[in-house]
Structure 1
Amino acid sequence: MSFLDTVLQPPSYGWQDANGLLVKPSPKQLFGEFFSRLNVFKDKKNWLSFLCWFTVLALVPFFLLFLFKYMSVKTLLAAFFYSMIVMGTHGTIWHHRYCTHNAYQFRNKFWRFFTQNLTLKIIPEEIYAVSHHVHHAKSDTPGDPYNAQGGFLYCFLADVNHQPISKNLSEKEYAKCVNLMKHTGVSVNTYEQYQKWGSLAKPLNTVVGIILNWSFWFGAFYLMGGIPLAVSLFAAAGFWAVGVRTFNYEGHGKGEDKRREGIDYNQDDMSINQVWPGIVAGEWHNNHHLYPKSARSGFKPYQVDSAWYYIKFMHTIGAVSTYNDCKAQFYKEYVNAHEQEHKAIVPELLVPVIVPVLAVEEV
């Protein structure tokens, strides 16, 4: 088996059955796995999974305060903008295009740190990036950590049930795992520390990083608009943290083939281009699966790509040194080729219609 076949911790119900088909666990099995992997008293190697949902729970009080005390037209608009556009776009910029696919490179560590902390820190880079490599290698097949064919809960609980790295990697395998993350600047454990904590990320560094990040942004929001704005935007971040866990289920057609001709050109998996995620976060998912290492995925004129605009701006001011842009390749290999194929088919369809008409006119 390849490295990506074994890098993730398999769930207790397994990825596939004896016939090689996807195991579709029941809700009881999914929740059982979920709570088992959150139990840090049972195994401290569960700390990173626990942290993923502890941060969400820590934002619940802010959401309740926003809902019952600070919600107004202004704070609602601010929360909507921060949750849908700012948090969504940042997730695409940082976790997706940089941490996972290294689609662009920063000029120096300062700009990397700046971009990393543009919003509240919620999703650990390790949880997102390593598993996303597996997702692309096994998209919509057994082993895909958020396979939409497994159902909504299969995807929604994936950050705990399917995305953590294996706790039994060999030293050589762990080195490969570290190599996937080395460009992100995340401080990683030695192999001996990994055997103790079961993660790439160091617990203390990770927790302190989140505390400092949240403290900075609460202070910044307070200076911009007082307690009402600070509470509202923290509530918005919590709303995003829950909502983003639904994306891959939707982005792969809820387990069905919803690809459309002339819109979704990638035919290797069930990914689809969706207007809303595209507009608010630059996530044109089918395009991305065609060219995962492209810093731009909004290729067509109507495909707004806010993540690409940020990357391009950073390149203009010198903060980003290089980037990959596959727009020209996309048009050459898919759009133009599709149009040529369509033009070749249409005349053949018209011939039987045109000939009888001419015959009638001669008579």
Structure 2
Amino acid sequence: MAFLNTVLEPPSYGWTDENGDLSKPSNGKIVKEFFLRLNVFKDKKNWLSFLSWFLVLALVPFLALFIFKYFSITGLIVAFVYSMIIMGTHGTIWHHRYCTHGAYTFSNKFWRFFTQNLTLKIIPEEIYAVSHHVHHALSDQPGDPYNAQGGFMYCFLADVNHQPIARNMGEACYKKCVNLMKHVGVTPNTYKQYQKWGTIANPYRTVVGIILNWGFWFAAFYLMGGMPLACAVFGSAGIWAVGVRTFNYEGHGKGEDKRREGIDHNREDMSINQLWPGYVAGEWHNNHHLFPKSARSGFKPHQLDLAWCYIKLLSMIGAVSSYRDSKKQFLLEYCTVKPVVGPIAEYPQTAKAALLVTES
């Protein structure tokens, strides 16, 4: 925990105020911090945050071309499916359940590479994975990089303001940080390179990887449907890249306690289960906070989990060698009627019938 308390670069306004409570800067301060930490001319260690938002801006022309030149109902459907379902589910499969939590393991490097590049590469693994460990350790507490109690902008711009790793780690701490990413396949900087660039990822390898990823997918979609299809897909990916930055604000009740009895069983933080991210991305968030290392978070019959479907399919064909599935434990702990203490005769007939049910 001490390591996770210091692994991220704190914002200029700090994690806490003078009373030790969550620091809640104004939107103006948050935006000012955002642009300061994007400035690669002032500090080249800002390169990864800059790259992340540069990629979003690079997708805007594709979106404009789709809307104003190539728009069609078919293209709109493709854009919706790709951004909301394919990109969303892939984010859960790759960034969330594998890169951060190691909820499953691949049989070999090919299947890891295949899964990593199933969609356009937009969010660097380092920005997501390291900070997400902190999010779980300090969920809804000061230091949580996307604490919903800080407000919408606090969460929306967190990838720049709160999620980059600390830049002044000693060599031992840096090795611990690299260890969080060792299974992901990102070749880490040496400690000397880290001191120069301020990141685990190397800028040259990262940029080359993105160029190859984007080049492959543009060629593939162009061959399948020409510029209309390529623009629909690339433009919609930009919409997803912006929209995903709003998720943790929504997924933690917008800073309020919106947990519901019988639906949101985890009471350690403000995470909630939501139908939309659940169905389109397999992100049943309260369930996930209960069992973060589970490769499945859709535990109940109505909780479709497309990310789990992909992981299970890969397991069936031998591409995934092992996984954790906490469904049985969830049902046992939260959906099983507990034994009644005392004579059964003391309870009304309806209660007796209820006691015969073992699972909801």
Report deviation, 1:350.
Answer: 6.2
Distance 2:17 2:76 in 1: 47
Q: TM-score of the superposition, structure 1-length normalised?
A: 0.94
Q: Who is 1:147 aligned against?
A: 147
Report deviation, 1:104.
Answer: 0.1
Describe the shift of the 1:72–1:343 C-alpha distance in structure 2 as closer, same or farther (beyond 3 A): farther
Q: Who is 1:14 aligned against?
A: 14
- Paired residues for 1:83-122 under 5 Å: 83-122=83-122
2:293 is aligned with 1:293: yes
Distance 2:225 2:307 in 1: 26
Q: Who is 1:252 aligned against?
A: 252
Q: Who is 1:41 aligned against?
A: 41
- Paired residues for 1:181-196 under 5 Å: 181-196=181-196
SS of the aligned residue for 1:105 comes to strand
Describe the shift of the 1:56–1:107 C-alpha distance in structure 2 as closer, same or farther (beyond 3 A): same
Distance 2:85 2:302 in 1: 17
Distance 1:212 1:343 in 2: 64
> Quick one: which amino acid aligns to residue 11 of structure 1?
P
SS of the aligned residue for 2:338 comes to helix
Report deviation, 1:224.
Answer: 1.1
Describe the shift of the 1:106–1:68 C-alpha distance in structure 2 as closer, same or farther (beyond 3 A): same
- Paired residues for 1:336-351 under 5 Å: 336=336, 339-340=337-338
- Paired residues for 1:231-246 under 5 Å: 231-246=231-246
CA deviation profile, 1:138-179 (whole Å, cap 9, x unmatched) = 000000000000000000000000000000011000000000
Distance 2:89 2:70 in 1: 25
Q: Who is 2:161 aligned against?
A: 161
> Quick one: which amino acid aligns to residue 112 of structure 2?
R
> Quick one: which amino acid aligns to residue 66 of structure 2?
F
Identity rate of aligned residues, in percent?
74
SS of the aligned residue for 1:184 comes to coil
2:284 is aligned with 1:284: yes
2:120 is aligned with 1:125: no
Q: TM-score of the superposition, structure 2-length normalised?
A: 0.94
> Quick one: which amino acid aligns to residue 340 of structure 1?
K
Q: Which has the larger radius of gyration?
A: 1
> Quick one: which amino acid aligns to residue 138 of structure 1?
L
Describe the shift of the 1:42–1:324 C-alpha distance in structure 2 as closer, same or farther (beyond 3 A): same
> Quick one: which amino acid aligns to residue 223 of structure 1?
L
> Quick one: which amino acid aligns to residue 37 of structure 1?
R
Q: Who is 2:54 aligned against?
A: 54
Distance 2:338 2:325 in 1: 23
Distance 1:82 1:349 in 2: 53
Report deviation, 1:340.
Answer: 2.7
RMSD: 1.6
Distance 2:339 2:275 in 1: 26
Deviating beyond 3 angstroms after TM superposition, the runs of 4 or more aligned structure 1 residues are 341-344, 346-351
Distance 1:70 1:94 in 2: 31
CA deviation profile, 1:234-281 (whole Å, cap 9, x unmatched) = 001000000000000000000000001111000000000000000000
Distance 2:4 2:19 in 1: 20
